[in-house]
Structure 1
Amino acid sequence: MISKYPDPPLTIAVIGGGVIGRTLATAWTRSGHGVTFGVRRPQDDDLLQFAAGIGANVTAIEPALTGTDTVLLAIAGDAMPEVVPQLAPQLAGKTVIDATNNVVSPVLNSIADLSALAPTARVYRAFNTVGWENFADPTYGDTIGDLLYSGPAGIGQQAVERLIGDTGLRPIHLGDNDKAHLADALTALWFTLAFEQGYGRGVGFKVLTR
């Protein structure tokens, strides 16, 4: 699949080799973007085979960040307080997407730490509100799902909306990161619907307008 956006392909560092990162990397490489997984164990055979199958690369975390314009943080949320200070110097000037959910903290996102420690990065809250199944298949019958996100307007927003669109989902901007709590509230709603109310992990969201 070729991206519907006419701009040159992005170079993306996916930090983390779990199912969220893998699913998004698959959509993005199919759209022509360059993807490098940055992980603590770059010699992991399973990840190496997966990356080779979709045309992505695998390196340690620091080399993955070198020369990339966009960073997806898709690691365990409770690791973010340790990881963000380590990565912050290399995030300067990049578009950084926080897709993590720190479920052991009162605040699910790491926007405050990212913004404080990497003040020149363009930080966004996205890809955290639904399960990976919705990135793999964004359709619900005849309806295309929406992905709601927060972050500043400008070049970074264009990149984030492009990457959301390349999964097939429709991007819905909530506003700057003072609205990140709304994205996190959707995460809580998704968990309630998916698990407590039995809708399953494929449940998604759609904004309706007249």
Structure 2
Amino acid sequence: MFETATATLDWLGLIVFTITGALVASRKEMDFVGFAVLGTATGIGGGTLRDLLLGAPVFWTQRPSALLACLGISCAVFFCAHIPQSRYRTLVRLDAFGLALFAVAGAEKAIQAGAGSAVAVVMGVVTATFGGVIRDLLGGDSPVILSREIYASAAGAGALTYVSLAALGAPRELALGSGFLVALLLRALSLRLGWTLPRYRPRARRPYS
């Protein structure tokens, strides 16, 4: 049951992020190969890096159905991307949802692999953001993780919430749900209210004595 629930989180995150990658391909007016590459790379990118860093078998080598799902979803988006009135708005909303899913799923996968709390939080952030980095780079955009937006920090807050509650002995469903909601709400509110992180401001150099 435990493994099944974790796999479900991974699948949901994979589906959502694959759609966001394919939507970027549609905005760039790519061909079917571009859809497949962007969709698949976005869907499996974060989980691949997570598993490599943890020294665990890369999940899609154990479950090739994940690759087939990415290709199928990318194909579907190729024919359906024109349906949403605003592909960018749809992309941003789905990305926030996938970010929150992968933040807790990545942290939980790390704990299952025997990682400590700090490493689990980092793995949650890696899982939630690396697919988006690949998507943005392949799509010719500046990675959102390098902007002032509350993105990686939202994933980190969600992962930290889950890890903290799990360490305190909270029920697994409560820990997962709380971590997911914290990441999703923080990302959604930052988009809605325009919250950003402080930016470095150049300052005059101190004169040499």
TM-score (normalizing by structure 2): 0.29
Query: Which has the greater radius of gyration?
Result: 2
Whose relative contact order is higher, 1 or 2, with alpha carbons under 8 Å and at least 6 apart?
A: 2
Name the one with the larger helix percent. Answer: 2
TM-score (normalizing by structure 1): 0.29
